Structure 1
Amino acid sequence: MESRVRDLCLQLYEIGALKFGDFKMKVGVSSPVYFDLRMMISYPTVMESLSNLLWDFAKSEGVECDVVCGVPYTALPLATLIAVKADLPMLIRRKEAKDYGTKKLIEGVYSKDDLCIIFEDVVTTGSSILETVNDLKHEGLVVKEVVAVLDREQGGIGNLARQGISLKPLMTLTQVLRHLKALGKIDDNTINKIQTYVQQNQLDPRGEPKKSDEVSRLELSFSARADMAQHVVAARLLRLMDKKQSLLCVAADVSTSQQLLNLAEAVGPHVALLKTHADIITDWSPNVALQLASLAKQHDFLIMEDRKFADIGHTTGLQYSLVRPWADLVTVHGLPGDGLLQGIQAEIARYPESQRGVVPIAQLSCSGNLITPQYTKSVMRQAASFPQLIAGFVCQSPDVVVPPGLLQLTPGVSLAESTDTLGQQYNSPLAVVCERGADLAIVGRAIVSADDPAYAAQKYKTLLWEAYQQRVKRQAVKED
């Protein structure tokens, strides 16, 4: 196997798939070495040789599977050749679901609980793999192992292991450098430069530098995280979640004040947070706000107005002045930049006794949305600039919210549905907590439209709390 790996290194070097210089990586950092395995598609012999070697390596590692899937896009031709050689069904994961045709995110024939092996070309942080894993698991597939051509040794193995995924690389960066030196293609100076770079650039799944003393948000209990929270509402909400043993946030998408108040009365004992849309209440008034706040105090829950402000700072400040008196939290879009947050912050500062916070939208749960990974990163950076304003983020991935003192709110939770007719995508309570990383799971129609909303809320509350206990326990076992 080692001699075949050495020969492969030479082939990849000769076709220009292994490059040395100064390159900007997908995660945003510069690197003295770059692996462009896309070059292989122009060299069928090399591509076939690599796919054969990758499959032989997978078999030698004892990998078992029912179906195979390649991480888009470079690994797709490798997965295709392997599927043909091994006579295994193949799946294709789209980067986003189409809004026509089958509208599927995962293409291919599969069954629930099928064991899927993922193939990847180059692993740096493991973020692309985690995205693929989450989408496959969402469809009911089981994913435990990933076979990759190369591990750049910058933290990918650890990042994946913390999510319960075992990475098996055909070769590591260290092996590649050793083989190329033996073949006379690089010198000690190049090797030393690359090794120093790797040591100084260990990355978390977001592509940010790792902190050796950083504790994962997912490893800690809500009570422990409350003590780490910089934002007063985040700390209060974490303690409330621990006290009520509830990760439940009900989306009160109703159209009349009586429906809203009846729903709040029914689900209040079971929720930590009630999410409202005041602008869809046809008879909304300040008196309705007072009654809602009274129910929140009676049943011990907080209120988040899902207003999604997205205007300039001055206008947003005026808009927020109508929400501040009754809503503990409000959602915003990061698109307008810091001015929007400054407008809200100025309004809150006028009432020092009020405890209020903001929850930016970092990701959306609807298919076809225009939010990009780079936009998500930009929104997340706002937390560092406004620590006394931002209490958490709305997102879909476990690696977006890192500080333990911030909350992850994730919408799209249902036991019965996977999508609706308008592109909303749903997760089960277990998946949204253990795979998506939610601290607060936002449940809407599954409770609001139930014959008995109180019973449905209690059911979701129990399932979500059990998932949270499993998540914390799982992380504790990994630490041991």
Structure 2
Amino acid sequence: MVTDGGQDALAQDFVRFAVEAGVLRFGEFKTKAGRLSPYFFNAGLFDDGAKLGRLAQFYARRILDSGIEFDMVFGPAYKGIPLAAAVVIELARLGRVVPYAFNRKEAKDHGEGGNLVGAPVKGKVLIVDDVMSAGTAARESIAIIEAAGATPHAVAIALDRQEKATENGTDVDHSAVQYVRDRLGLKVCAIARLADLLQYLQSQSGGEMAAHYNKVLAYRERYGVD
């Protein structure tokens, strides 16, 4: 839901929750691309039942509000596994019961075998992950899903960093989200974007948050994409 003031209420609630949970932090952090980022989002720190349950509520609401069609949920190893499990529980609570599956990093050669666990992978598949840095995890998930005879249809993530991806150490004009959406053909929905984080910081009155706003804004002006 977007308010009359142009704010996405769900995204603002999520950013606030992530900050309070210590999952979204401010300072100086080196990214995989070698950039010094003024903020860091670590979904692995949604590390207890209350936080994970609340996170799943945000995912489920955003997924349902997006209107994306899907028959099942897939969680890529490793962070996507608990995320997918939590999300399908919340979706079921909201009346949308769907199966889910996830992959192992190493194929199992006994028992049921293979590298897939859970429900049979079929139909339109929604991939649930935390963030996209380069689209690598999405490409790996796509290959697994297609190999199972299903259709990779969409990706749901927690935060869209809205920044340029890198290829061979060089900045490119698109983000990982744009690459997955425009070049790989998958729909993408994010609970919040960097623009929402900036709105949140701007809404905080002065002090430390104001300093963080200026640094995050400068980072977006240097590396940002829409």
Distance 1:95 1:123, change over 3 A: same
Equivalent residue letter for 1:197 = Y
1:197/1:95 CA distance change after superposition, 3 Å: farther
Deviations 1:132-182 (A, max 9, x none): 122111211101211111100020122112111221112101101211331
Query: Aligned partners of 2:190, 2:24: CA distance in 1, in Å?
Result: 17
Question: Compared with structure 1, are the counterparts of its residues 111 and 7 closer, same or farther at alpha carbon in structure 2 (3 Å cutoff)?
Answer: closer
- Tell me which residue corresponds to 2:29: 23
Deviations 1:405-447, CA, capped at 9 Å, x for gaps: xxxxxxxxxxxxxxxxxxxxxxxxxxxxxxxxxxxxxxxxxxx
Give the TM-score normalised by the residue count of structure 2. 0.78
Residue 117 of structure 1: CA displacement? 0.5
1:139 aligns with 2:169: no
1:222-269 Cα deviation digits (max 9, x unpaired): xxxxxxxxxxxxxxxxxxxxxxxxxxxxxxxxxxxxxxxxxxxxxxxx
1:202 deviates by 6.5
Matches within 5 A, 1:146-225: 146-154=155-163, 155-160=175-180, 161-184=182-205, 186-187=209-210, 189-201=211-223
- Between the aligned partners of 1:4 and 1:170, the Cα distance in structure 2 is 7
**Are the counterparts in 2 of residues 106 and 136 from structure 1 also a CA contact under 8 Å?**
no
Change (3 A) 1:27 1:135: farther
**Corresponding residue of 1:33:** 39
- Distance (Å, rounded) in 2 between the aligned partners of 1:92 and 1:40: 19
Give the structure 2 partner of residue 120 of structure 1.
129
Structure of higher CA gyration radius: 1
Counterparts of 1:107 and 1:65 in 2: how far apart (Å)? 19
Judged with a 3 Å threshold, the aligned counterparts in structure 2 of structure 1 residues 81 and 159 are, in CA distance, closer, same or farther, namely same
Does residue 110 of the first structure (1) align with residue 120 of the second (2)? yes
- Residues 101 and 23 of structure 1: CA distance in aligned 2, closer, same or farther (over 3 Å): farther
The sequence identity of aligned pairs, in percent, is 26
Match of 1:13 in 2: 19
What is the rounded CA distance, in whole Å, between the counterparts of 1:99 and 1:22 in structure 2? 44
Residue identity in the other structure for 1:16: G
Q: Using the TM superposition, give the Cα deviation of residue 199 of structure 1 relative to its aligned residue in structure 2, in angstroms.
A: 4.4
Residues 383-462 of structure 1 aligned to structure 2 (within 5 Å): none
CA contact (8 A) 2:74 2:101 kept: yes
| Aligned partner of residue 149 in structure 2, secondary structure | coil
Counterpart Cα distance in 1 of 2:32 and 2:198: 22
Q: CA deviation at 1:29?
A: 3.7
Partner of 2:82: 77
Number of aligned pairs? Answer: 200
Deviation >6 Å, runs of 4+: none
Instruction: State the Cα distance separating 1:105 from its structure 2 match.
Output: 1.9
Q: Flag the 1:199–1:105 CA change in 2: closer, same or farther, 3 A.
A: farther
State the 1:100 CA deviation: 4.2
In 2: Cα distance, 1:37 partner to 1:79 partner: 13
Mapped contact 1:70–1:119 kept (Cα < 8 A): yes
- Secondary structure of 1:64's match? coil
- Output one character per residue of 1:182-215: Cα deviation in whole Å (capped at 9) or x when no partner: 134611x433332333444469xxxxxxxxxxxx
8 Å contact from structure 2 (residues 28, 38) kept in 1: yes
Maintained 8 Å contact 1:69/1:119 = yes
In the alignment, the residues of structure 2 paired with residue 33 and residue 157 of structure 1 have an alpha-carbon distance, to the nearest angstrom, of: 19
Range that drifts further, 71-80 or 129-138: 71-80
Q: How far apart, in 1, do the equivalents of 2:215 and 2:130 lie?
A: 23
CA separation of 1:70 and 1:27: change in aligned 2, threshold 3 A: farther
Q: Is the 8 A contact 1:10 1:180 kept in 2?
A: no
What is the identity, as a one-letter code, of the residue corresponding to 2:127?
Answer: I
Q: How much has 1:99 moved relative to structure 2?
A: 4.3
In structure 1, give the amino acid aligned to 2:37. S
Q: Distance in 1 between matches of 2:204 and 2:77?
A: 32
Counterpart code for 1:174: A
Q: 1:195 to 1:126 in 2, by over 3 A?
A: farther
Q: 1:111 to 1:50 in 2, by over 3 A?
A: closer
The AA in structure 2 aligned to 1:82 is V
Question: 2 CA distance for matches of 1:53 and 1:15?
Answer: 14
TM-aligned CA distance change 1:103 to 1:4, over 3 Å = same
Which structure carries more relative contact order (alpha carbon 8 Å, separation 6+)? 2
1:296-345 superposed Cα distances (whole Å, 9 cap, x missing partner): xxxxxxxxxxxxxxxxxxxxxxxxxxxxxxxxxxxxxxxxxxxxxxxxxx
Distance 1:179 1:152 in 2: 15
Closer, same or farther in 2 for the Cα pair 1:199/1:163, shift >3 Å?
farther
Q: Normalized against structure 1, the TM-score is what? A: 0.39
The Cα shift of 1:118 comes to 0.8
Conserved in 1, the CA contact under 8 Å of 2:15 and 2:192? no
Query: What does residue 60 of structure 2 align with?
Result: 55
Letter of the 1:22 counterpart:
E
Compute the RMSD of aligned alpha carbons: 2.3
